[in-house]
Chain A
Amino acid sequence: EDQVTQSPEALRLQEGESSSLNCSYTVSGLRGLFWYRQDPGKGPEFLFTLYSAGEEKEKERLKATLTKKESFLHITAPKPEDSATYLCAVQVYSGGGADGLTFGKGTHLIIQP
């Protein structure tokens, strides 16, 4: 069974204190790994898609990396507006074409001023 595990469940940082969120996955054949941001009471907002080990993508203070077993979302010098829940999801290859997505439970990030 495909599994996606995110850690930590919650993380509290001071403004400017860099850190990393982890997403480990156990899947039969990875088609893509995704990072989303979700603010309270809103739908998830797309951040990145990573397709193969070694790939990296950046957006402002966020950088996502991918290995064969896990992905990291690095947050550099975070600001209070970066506070949100960060979700990781994977899609796997299937014989009949595209499958759905499997999401992790998310990391709730709080950045204190």
Chain B
Amino acid sequence: EAQVTQNPRYLITVTGKKLTVTCSQNMNHEYMSWYRQDPGLGLRQIYYSMNVEVTDKGDVPEGYKVSRKEKRNFPLILESPSPNQTSLYFCASSVGGPVLHQYFGPGTRLTVL
């Protein structure tokens, strides 16, 4: 089954404790992206990657890091999480960029205390 998976689905952590949210897709897609979704603000793009070793900032990259060492994986790293990073995070992928059908993962709900 074609899908984007994220882990963990739920995470409660404390300020400053480094964490990684994994994202993996099994569709051999070149394009992958991370979004955060907050009430009243909608979906905002954090980082995206057009291909392996190619990443670029979205609208809200501050406080986040990403890497794309393999085509199927695109982890999101929070080196020193803060409470304002409490949010619902989505990973997405598509075959050739955001103009094509993006498949979204199920989401990761992160709470930073």
Which of A's residues lie within 8 Å of B, judged by CB? 31-32, 34, 41-46, 49, 51, 87, 89, 91, 97-98, 100-106
Contacts and interface: CB of A to CB of B under 8 A. Distances in A.
A49 B42 contact: no
Contacts of A46: 101-103
A91 B99 contact: yes
Contact of B45 (A32, A43, A87, A101): A101
Contacts of A32: 98-99
Nearest to A47: B101
B44 A103 contact: yes
Contacts of B48: 100
Nearest to B101: A46
- Secondary structure dominating the interface of A: strand
Nearest to B90: A43
B99 A49 contact: yes
B92 A98 contact: no
Nearest to B50: A98
17 contacts: A31-B99, A32-B98, A42-B106, A43-B104, A43-B106, A44-B43, A44-B102, A46-B103, A87-B43, A89-B43, A91-B98, A98-B97, A100-B58, A101-B33, A102-B45, A102-B59, A105-B42
Given A44-B43, A87-B43, A101 B98 contact: yes
